[in-house]
């Protein structure tokens, strides 16, 4: 005898079959002919057509009268935007950060762009012999922290540029060198960071502490957060191709994907 739980889990097969057609449309990002949609879903065109008629009635798809091609409809867009609006980078990052911390055995954190700049919002301490003095709410400098450099390299915002200019002016006065010299040095660093897709800092913010920071993007392609990892100099490998860097790039790519980001192919 089939239990109620088993029945619930069985679901409605026709809905699952029909949605395979929508997956084909979504994956190709362009209007398609019925035969191509059906082929992609592994379904006879006649059967696919019946599903498409129903989907058109509820607005999930639409058909161009001139070409006969099908595309996702207004209601599909409405559902997509509603789902994206529910995505919370901090909530979605939690299990990813936990796993990253266990993988690299270093302290990891998530930073977002706040009112005062790059702000730490979540931290997972590896519990090693060297404690990294970082806490939620900490605002990190743009010029000499791995997190700040990630935002400087990958995020575009007028306020960020203003803060960075202020930091450069301050650093130039303290080091008694021309601000243009500092700016050239920073641009060279940012170019290198963009080439590798991840930033790094070697004891420049906190003596004895190295760091990596990888950007996280949302469905619009804008940077919305940074995943940062920190560890003691001598133990924390800051080579661009180090295991820590690779693990962080994978973690940031996974979080970006869950936020709807699609990397260029």
A 10 A CB-CB count for 194 gives 13
User: CA–CA separation, 90 vs 113, rounded Å?
Assistant: 12
Determine the pLDDT at residue 10.
63
Burial-class residue 149 by CB neighbours within 10 Å (0-12, 13-18, 19+): buried
Both tokens of 198, joined, read: 């991840």
Map residue 125 onto helix, strand or coil.
Answer: coil
User: CA–CA separation, 132 vs 230, rounded Å?
Assistant: 7
90 confidence band (pLDDT: 50, 70, 90): confident
Superfamily of domain 89-258 in CATH is GAF domain (3.30.450.40)
Determine the pLDDT at residue 16.
85
Residue range(s) in the chain whose domain bears CATH number 1.10.10.10: 4-85
37 compared with 203, residue with greater pLDDT = 37
Average pLDDT, stretch 49-78?
Answer: 89
Determine the pLDDT at residue 1.
45
Question: Which H/E stretch holds residue 6?
Answer: helix 4-10
Q: Which of 85-89, 102-106, 234-238 bottoms out in mean pLDDT, i.e. has the lowest? A: 85-89
Determine the pLDDT at residue 158.
85
User: CA–CA separation, 64 vs 34, rounded Å?
Assistant: 12
Determine the pLDDT at residue 38.
93
Q: For 48-78, give the DSSP string.
A: HHHHHHHHHHTTSEEE-TTT--EEE-HHHHH
Determine the pLDDT at residue 6.
47
Average pLDDT, stretch 62-68?
Answer: 91
Q: Look up the CATH number of domain 4-85.
A: 1.10.10.10
User: CA–CA separation, 43 vs 62, rounded Å?
Assistant: 19
Determine the pLDDT at residue 242.
93
Burial-class residue 244 by CB neighbours within 10 Å (0-12, 13-18, 19+): buried
Determine the pLDDT at residue 91.
87
Average pLDDT, stretch 9-24?
Answer: 82
pLDDT at 252 over 60: yes
pLDDT at 216 over 70: yes
Cβ partners under 8 Å of residue 102, min gap 6: none
Residue range(s) in the chain whose domain bears CATH number 3.30.450.40: 89-258
Render pLDDT for 146-193 as a digit per residue (tens, 0 to 9).
999 999 999 988 889 899 999 999 988 988 889 899 899 999 999 999
pLDDT above 90 coverage of the chain, percent: 50
Q: Is the dihedral of CA 223, 120, 241, 103 positive or negative?
A: negative
Helices (H), 176-203: 179-196
Minimal CA–CA distance to 35: which of 19, 27, 47?
Answer: 47
Render pLDDT for 99-142 as a digit per residue (tens, 0 to 9).
999 999 888 999 988 878 898 888 898 776 555 667 788 889 99
pLDDT at 5 over 50: no
């Amino acid at each position: 005898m089939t239990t109620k739980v088993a029945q619930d889990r069985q679901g409605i097969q026709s809905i699952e079959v029909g949605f395979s057609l929508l997956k084909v449309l979504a994956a190709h990002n362009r209007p398609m002919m019925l035969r191509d949609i059906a082929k992609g879903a592994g379904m006879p065109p006649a059967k696919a057509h019946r599903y498409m008629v129903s989907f058109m009635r509820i607005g999930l798809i639409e058909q161009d009268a001139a070409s006969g091609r099908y595309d996702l409809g207004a209601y599909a867009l409405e559902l997509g935007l509603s789902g994206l609006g529910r995505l919370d980078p901090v909530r979605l990052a939690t299990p990813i950060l936990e796993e990253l911390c266990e993988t690299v055995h270093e302290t990891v954190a998530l930073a977002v762009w706040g009112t005062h700049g790059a702000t730490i919002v979540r931290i997972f301490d590896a519990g090693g012999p060297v404690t990294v003095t970082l806490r939620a709410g900490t605002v990190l400098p743009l010029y000499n922290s791995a997190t700040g450099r990630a935002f400087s390299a990958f995020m575009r915002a007028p306020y960020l540029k203003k803060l960075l200019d202020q930091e450069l002016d301050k650093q130039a006065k303290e080091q008694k060198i021309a601000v243009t010299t500092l700016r050239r040095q920073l641009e060279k660093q940012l170019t290198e960071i963009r080439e590798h897709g991840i930033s790094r800092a070697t004891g420049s913010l906190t003596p004895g502490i190295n760091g990596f920071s990888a950007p996280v993007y949302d469905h619009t392609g804008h940077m919305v957060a940074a995943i940062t990892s920190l560890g003691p100099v001598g133990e924390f490998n800051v080579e661009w191709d180090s295991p820590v860097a690779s693990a962080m790039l994978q973690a940031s790519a996974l979080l970006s994907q869950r936020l709807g980001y699609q990397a260029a192919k």
